[in-house]
Amino acid sequence: MMKSLIVQSRKHYRRFYRLVALAVILMTAVLTGSLLLGDSVRGTLVQRVSERLGKTETIITSGTGFMSETLTQQPLLKHAKGYLLMDGFVSVDEKLLPVYVWGTDDDALSPGEVMVNDPLYTKLSTLNSQFSIFNSQFSTLVLHLPTHNLVPSGSLFVSKSYATQMRVQVVGVKPVEDGGNLLLKNEQTLPLNIFVNRKYLAEKMELEGKINMILSDEMIDEEELATCWAPEYSGLHITDTTLTYDGVFIPQDIVAKSQISTFSSAKPNLKSQTIYLSYFVNDLIHQSDTIPYSFVTAVNEWQGEPLDGQDIILSDYASERLHVHEGDSIHMSYFITKQLKNLDTSEQTMRVKQIVPLSAFQDDSLLMADFPGLTRVEKCTDWDSDLPIDMNRVHQEDEDFWHAYRQTPKAIVSYEAVKSDWSNAFGNATAMRFTPQTSTFSSAEPNLKSQISYRIFSTLGLPRKLTPSDANVQLYHPRAQGLKGAKGGVDFASLFLSLGFFIILSAILLMKNPLVELFTLRRSEIQLYQQLGFKDKDIRKGLFREAFSVIFLASPLGVIAGLAYSSLTLWLLGNVWSGATHTEGFALHIQPLTLLTGWIVALLISAITLWFVVRNILNPQPSYRIFSTLGLPRNFSHHPPADHHPDSPQFHFLPQHGAVHCLWTFMGMRLGTFSPYEGRASIRSIHRWHDESHPTYMDFHPCIHEATPTGLLDTFPGCLHGFCRGIEPS
């Protein structure tokens, strides 16, 4: 019988239950969709880590420098692959498209042939509708590469321009599973990759035999790398007495490890130690004579004698042009850069300590550093540098000197005087010379001689061994770092739930209001059940079952709507809002546990809301609830007690209760605690008492009689005013 009654009631009151079902669908969709969005964003980030790294577990990079390709022949790296990675541009329909250029040995590419990844192929096809790998006429690209060399492009003297060009033909698209989306940066955007034959790329870049990246499918730690690494693999050239570097500027850690002053307890087998730092200065000035644009080298000692303070040693060529003698002062100006290559000019006044023949400078090759763009040219006017060089200041005598002596320095200065100005992020020396106490290595140390990392640092008595990190060789495990960042970052489910909180709250209110209206309209029906002998507990249970059946049937539709909501949001994040997310191609990741969690949570919230509504519908009338809450007598008579005199203070007690009741009922209707129907019935109960006991309350009547669910709220202030005015003593 109860089941049939529930079905009939649900059918009869379907206009209310449609609103309830709509609210449940909305709430379930937002809850489930938010949880799915959290899983999908996190799953996409994890997927991107696998896509951009392939099977790579360990990356060995040389920073701004390069490594020898022979390093990959070590047993530890037999399964590793060496790459030459460059950034470049592709010319497409008069536009330059930035790309990553990978010099690789994997794809059996012939010189002039390249492969691209799918995002780059899509981009090329979009910019040029005729582009196709199946038509050689429309698959040719012009690749612009930087004029790279062994000197870091960020240093002061090197100009970074994309003057190297390669005309290449696209012969295929490299799939994701083969490393097509390879990207070492911890970014979520899909890279634009182009893969070239490594040897062909190295030849074009004048980097034969060099790599700057090693990728391994195995986990390798720094201690293991140190066992197979030697300084020569990173471009450090160490002889019995000298140390130079392919990148010109020797890293500061290496310079620090090689200085005698850092070993307080050691007794190195060194007679002397010379540090060289070459630089390009703007002017050497003495009175009215000037030599523009010269190479000058800073040293800490010269021919066994230290250079201190503001000492400068001039070549005879420079002294003749400047007309100076020993003890004279000259001014030296040069460019310096501190941050972001912001150029400034600095000057120093130097004291001429000695004048020597220019041939003395020529005999020491370490005094001359090789700066590409400045030293590998035939004329001064061919200098290619980021420095603002004024070629109008270069005269014929400067060209004659360059033709005869190239980058031979015209002077040497004290290393300590210019060290802070001339050092940079890449190093603070261009060469080092070590003079041992004995002229030859000990015959008892043949093994040490064969180990380059010890040839100076052990044989000369310096106890520290070079490590890969000293040469800026870095090792890291990108997969572990990427997965940690993808899984342990922002809780996206909580983020989307927070964004949808007010929608969920609105859905709860949208469900509650029809239920309150429904059960209020059925108050006479509920009273009939009570008169027939049904217990309040059974009535509540029946009403709950009736409404919850609608909630339960509507919630699966909410789960389906949640799938649609999450799919739409992911599409918007990857397309319309990609500029804000910097991520493309979000994928929907459906986890059954997530769907079940969202469904159950939505049911629980709906059930709790329904329970509160059903519980309150059978509670005492609002007047009793209010009076009890305020600590006032729960019941009052429509007529004052006979023993109460109208002028007694107690007479005003019940009317004041009525005013509080009226005010509380009004607030309840405003906040949704009572329906307008409840509020109107509550106020009418007070009105009846007023009407029967005090005729002066008649000005309150029109407000009550004309009250409607909407009008009651509008006329309430006037009602309250009339009520309070009526209780004043006459």
- pLDDT tens-digit profile of 425-438? 888 999 998 877 66
The pair of three-digit structure tokens given for residue 161, joined into one six-digit string = 């321009």
Count of residues making up the chain: 730
For 175-179, 353-357, 372-376, 513-517, which range has the lowest pLDDT when averaged over its residues? 372-376
Average pLDDT, integer, range 599-627: 78
pLDDT at 116: 93
For 56-60, 492-496, 662-666, which range has the lowest pLDDT when averaged over its residues? 662-666
- pLDDT-derived band at 659 (thresholds 50, 70, 90) equals very low
Average pLDDT, integer, range 73-94: 89
pLDDT at 271: 66
Q: Where do the H-state alpha helices sit in 102-170? A: 118-127
Average pLDDT, integer, range 689-695: 46
pLDDT at 154: 62
Question: Which one has a higher pLDDT value, 119 or 446?
Answer: 119
**Is 550:20 a contact under the CB 8 Å cutoff?**
yes
Where b means 16+ CB within 10 Å and e means fewer, 142-153 reads ebbbbbbbbbbe
Q: For tokens 């004043």, what's the residue? A: 728
Where b means 16+ CB within 10 Å and e means fewer, 321-338 reads bbebeeebebebebbbbe
Best CA proximity match to 498, nearest among 148, 34, 3: 34
For 219-233, 276-290, 424-438, 656-670, which range has the lowest pLDDT when averaged over its residues? 656-670
CA 122 – CA 128 distance, rounded (Å): 10
Best CA proximity match to 417, nearest among 270, 275, 321: 275
* Residue 261 CB neighbours (<10 A): 7
pLDDT at 261: 52
Percent of the chain with pLDDT over 90: 32
95 burial type by CB count under 10 A (0-12 exposed, 13-18 middle, 19+ buried): exposed
Q: For tokens 């034969």, what's the residue? A: 208
CA 638 – CA 626 distance, rounded (Å): 17
In sequence order, what DSSP letters do the residues of 107-119 get, joined into one string? S-PPTTEEEEEHH
| pLDDT tens, residue by residue, 197-241 | 999 999 988 889 999 999 998 999 998 998 888 888 988 888 778
pLDDT at 563: 93
- pLDDT-derived band at 177 (thresholds 50, 70, 90) equals confident
Average pLDDT, integer, range 3-30: 88
CA 60 – CA 74 distance, rounded (Å): 14
**pTM (two decimals):** 0.66
Average pLDDT, integer, range 269-275: 75
- pLDDT-derived band at 367 (thresholds 50, 70, 90) equals very high
**Is 394:380 a contact under the CB 8 Å cutoff?**
yes
CA 248 – CA 432 distance, rounded (Å): 11
- pLDDT-derived band at 248 (thresholds 50, 70, 90) equals confident
Helix (H, G, I), strand (E, B), or coil: what is residue 226?
helix
- pLDDT-derived band at 54 (thresholds 50, 70, 90) equals confident
Question: Which amino acid, 501?
Answer: F
Average pLDDT, integer, range 121-140: 80
Strands 193-197 and 301-302, sheet pairing: unpaired
CA 410 – CA 421 distance, rounded (Å): 19
Q: Is pLDDT at 358 greater than 90 in this prediction?
A: yes
pLDDT at 263: 43
